Amino acid sequence: MDIGMTPFENIVSCLERGESFVLQGGAGSGKTETLKKLLDYISKHMPEKRVACITHTNLAADEIKARAGELHAISTIHSFLNGIINSFRIDLHKVIHELFLLPEFKVGQAMDDDKEYKKREHERYKKAYGKYADKAYLILKIKEAKVLGKPMYDKDPQAANTVLNEKIKHLNASVLEHIKKASPQKVCYNETAFDSFRDLSFGHDGLVKLAVSLMCERKKLRKILADKYDYIFVDEYQDTSPDIVRAFLDYVVKDQNIVFWFFGDSMQGIYEDGVGDVENYVQADAIEKINKEDNYRCSEQVVKLINNLRDDGLEQSVAFKTRENGDLETLADRQGRVKLVYAICDDKPTQHSPREDKDSYLKKLNKLIETARGVDSYKMLMLTNKAVASEAGFSQLYEIFNSRFGQATNENLEKVLAICHFSELYELHEDYGNKRYAKVIRFVKKSGFVLDSVFHKDELLVAFKSVFDLNSPAHDAIHESFKLKLLKQSDSYERFVRRREEFFEAAMGNSRYSAFKDQYVSGFDSLSKLNKAGFDVDEYEFGDLERDVKRELFYNDFFGGKITLGEVFKYYDYLSEKTNFITMHKTKGSGIENVLVVADEFFWRDYKFGNVFSAGDITAENRKIMYVACSRAIKNLTCVRIMSTEESSTIKDYFNEIECVSLD
């Protein structure tokens, strides 16, 4: 990169030399505008060149299309990949087994602690057995026996593993035989989140896996890709699957005359399934790195803070936008406030602390938040927790999942609702409510709804009225949607429901479990309480039985009438940032005038925000989450944290205002 040139001039230089590059720019740097400007440049100066531009959302694709027109192929990553592999039906037929075969169970690495090793191995075995049992029922219609308990497994784990692997081999052979008999023309992308063995179709993740497999193994496909495009742009590259990046840069580039350009920011790589960064390719001189230091979004004070949160050496500076009247902004227009409001607590509770200690701590935190809010109007960014769920209108839903999954509540809440098709139903509801009728019709047709007359359209309106009763039990709406063919039931949903049915079948005849459950729900909900009450149980059996009780309570509450469709939709409104509360778990988007960031872990074990504003170690993952949250602020940013005396003694010079609040 020539430091005497502007980022765009460096980009044009790479363009003329036919070199791949990554444009690294922080929040508000105008990366997408640069992408659009580059498309304009190619259209005017190199009209013979063919460009594909890949985005991660339809919204982003539409935004770029509005500027670039129809001269280039602009689409989401899934549309792009499907366009590449869709005609390779025979090849897809040869690799689709990769989505459905189960790996054999392998013994884990030994540990010094033999007791912990045995516990871990049995958990791994249970998980592998569960996956096998699900697929055995779906594919072979075999109902397997309940998984071996730990005492039985520990007697001869090698024999148990051998039996399981023989079963997996038999199942995989049946999978291969079924695929072999099916027509290659049947294999297709179903445009949902789920792979379907029944239909031999693949969903979003399956599409990525199969596309990568074909790009890496089939030179013919890579040649067709190069014949079709000269340049491929990847927007928000940090969120792209690492396997896709590997296929592009380790395979396509190596033997085809095609150039890849990546636009994004490694500091905003907060999703686990994204590549995060492409620094290894930069270091290997496979691509050139171009830094874009502009910040067109944030006030001068916010820019200073988020620069201190970055760990990649890129330092942004305030860049001025052109106003509607043609005048340029001045530095006076880009002033704001960055404030830290904190309190001291040297005995902060952990996830294992008593509930009363946690409740007391949260009362202090809420008091601190109220102090920080003052009279200003803020959007509040924090990790999802019970208080936020209550404010946003999905407290019952959150509590049901929190009681079942504890520390894994957030990931399971989103995952289970998606498996049960609530995300699809919400999207259908939003499209219908916003009069995006073309999307609505396309979706319901794929689900099996017949729409070839005015009469059928009237039927569709009646169906929507029936399903979209927000006061109805949530699962009633799902079942009604299946019945009316507004939704198509997936294999994943079928497996989820069957696991519930099998659980209740096994529990009904288990007197030991029934006795334990009676004691547990009566208040004897710990190992010590049960033993003192005369109920003899060891820690391993207690763990298994407690999980089963929580599972039963979850099934009863989740599938019962406790949760309304309206509450589920409130949760999706929250994820879509339609409330004053925004989750830090997946917070990425446009700027917000005033932001209040609550830098608290809420007892989640996966987050450690200690030292984020002070001297000391902090992991890259936690630093990135805080960077993304703080960089949403356009003008004013207030950060709230309860910290130890030691942490408070090394608060860095990030803030122009610091206030310590006494909570006693």
- What CATH number is given to the structural domain containing 240? 3.40.50.300
- Asked whether 269 and 628 are in contact (CB, 8 A), the reply is no
User: In terms of residue numbers, what domain contains 352?
Assistant: 294-378+581-663
The greatest distance separating any two alpha carbons of the chain, rounded to the nearest whole angstrom, comes to 84
Q: Taking CA 207 as the corner, what is the angle to CA 203 and CA 210, rounded to the nearest 5 degrees?
A: 135
Residues 31-54, mean pLDDT to the nearest whole number? 92
Residue 262 lies in a domain: yes
Q: How confident is the model at residue 145 (pLDDT cuts 50, 70, 90)?
A: confident
Q: How confident is the model at residue 615 (pLDDT cuts 50, 70, 90)?
A: confident
Is residue 249 located within the same domain as residue 283?
yes
**Helix/strand/coil percent split, the chain, to 5:** 55, 10, 35
Among 152, 98, 97, which Cα is nearest to 129's? 152
Residue 608 lies in a domain: yes
Domain boundary among 243, 274, 292: 292
Residue 20 lies in a domain: yes
Is residue 346 located within the same domain as residue 452?
no
The values of phi and psi at residue 581, to 5°, are -110, 130
Is residue 627 located within the same domain as residue 507?
no
3-state secondary structure of 621: helix
Q: What is the rounded CA–CA span in Å between residue 580 and residue 221?
A: 47
Task: Say whether pLDDT at 4 is over 70.
Answer: no
How many separate domains does the chain show? 3
What's the pLDDT score for residue 271? Answer: 80
Residue 136 lies in a domain: no
Is residue 280 located within the same domain as residue 309?
no
Among 623, 618, 541, which Cα is nearest to 584's? 623
Is residue 533 located within the same domain as residue 620?
no
In the numeric block, which tokens belong to residue 368? 């601190």
Q: How confident is the model at residue 594 (pLDDT cuts 50, 70, 90)?
A: very high
Residues 4-28, mean pLDDT to the nearest whole number? 92
Is residue 259 located within the same domain as residue 247?
yes
Task: Say whether pLDDT at 1 is over 60.
Answer: no
Is residue 658 located within the same domain as residue 616?
yes
Residue 190 lies in a domain: no
The values of phi and psi at residue 622, to 5°, are -70, -35
Q: What is the rounded CA–CA span in Å between residue 192 and residue 43?
A: 34
Is residue 299 located within the same domain as residue 273?
no
Which segments within 265-398 are labelled E, that is strand?
A: 288-292, 294-295, 317-318, 337-344, 379-382
pLDDT digits (tens, 9 = 90+) for 258-311: 999 999 999 998 887 788 889 999 999 999 999 999 999 999 999 999 999 998
Q: How confident is the model at residue 375 (pLDDT cuts 50, 70, 90)?
A: low
Task: Say whether pLDDT at 635 is over 90.
Answer: yes
Mean pLDDT of the chain: 91
Domain boundary among 540, 565, 590: 565
Give per-residue burial for 30-43: e unless 16+ CB within 10 Å, then b: bbbebbbebbeebe
3-class SS string, 68-137: HCCCCEEEEHHHHHHHHHCCCHHHHHHHHHHHCCCCCCCCCCCCCCHHHHHHHHHHHHHHHHHHHHHHHH
Residue 49 lies in a domain: yes
Task: Say whether pLDDT at 156 is over 70.
Answer: yes
How far the first Cα of the chain sits from its last, in Å, is 55
Find the helix or strand (DSSP H, E) in which 53 lies: strand 51-55
Which single residue is written with the structure tokens 């999980």? 547
What's the pLDDT score for residue 237? Answer: 93
Q: Which pTM does this prediction carry?
A: 0.85
Q: What is the rounded CA–CA span in Å between residue 340 and residue 480?
A: 50
Q: How confident is the model at residue 198 (pLDDT cuts 50, 70, 90)?
A: confident
Is residue 473 located within the same domain as residue 610?
no
Is residue 530 located within the same domain as residue 590?
no
Task: Say whether pLDDT at 470 is over 90.
Answer: yes
CA distances from 140 to 4, 125, 167, 501 (A): 66, 21, 11, 18
Residue 315 lies in a domain: yes
Is residue 280 located within the same domain as residue 302?
no
Task: Say whether pLDDT at 443 is over 60.
Answer: yes
Is residue 438 located within the same domain as residue 543?
yes
Residue 588 belongs to domain with CATH number: 3.40.50
Domain boundary among 242, 274, 292: 292
Residue 146 lies in a domain: no
